[in-house]
Amino acid sequence: MRPLRIGCAVLLVALVLAMAAPHVYEATASDRVIVALGDSLTVGLGVAPDEAWPALLEARLQRTASPYRVVNAGVSGDTSAGGAARLDWVLRNKPEIVIVALGANDGLRGQPISALRANLTAIVERLKARKVKVLLAGMRLPPNYGAAYTGDFVAVFADVARRTGVPLVPFLLDGVAANARLNLADGIHPNAAGHRIIAERVWPHLRPLLAGSR
């Protein structure tokens, strides 16, 4: 029975990895790809796929006949370490731009700030080495995590953006967090209206990267 148990365990790991892998977009010669690399806030937990902020950005681009397509590479529960581990999948999409929206789960789990900084830096530097433009999205934590930790957590995103020379969305959930009308019943994940605001807030930071691509 031992070989069977090992085989089942291997199969389970393979299935989990397959579920975590982002969709590989089959781009045509005229398509230009933007990848949104994130967690449940990106994947759109609790809303329809076309209501999540990456899909709303693509809809906005399509209304202007833009050649860009946006791939939603959000995975619920993902951390900065998980995002770093998924970069091979992300790069298979041949992106011109990657929006990095990770870190919320690191903070909620109380993971070391040094690890978050190292992971985000590694993600950005690897993408830049492949000539991919990067937009980093910042995150904040509820005050009950303690002033010292939450302060250091917030500062990481600006620090990484400054050190790597990439633009920053200061707070992905700006205007959405803690607003009951813009979140699901869990008070954490945005509803459809919340995602619309996120897309509006991300757009001004994304637009200059579109103008400067290729």
Q: Which residues are catalytic?
A: 40, 186, 189
The DSSP secondary-structure symbol of 214 reads -
Roughly how many angstroms between the first and final C-alpha of the chain, as a whole number? 57
Q: How many angstroms separate the CA atoms of 159 and 49, rounded?
A: 32
Residues 6+ apart with CB under 8 A from 6: none
Other CB atoms closer than 10 Å to residue 17's CB: what's the count?
Answer: 12
Is there a contact between 132 and 203 (Cβ–Cβ < 8 Å)?
A: no
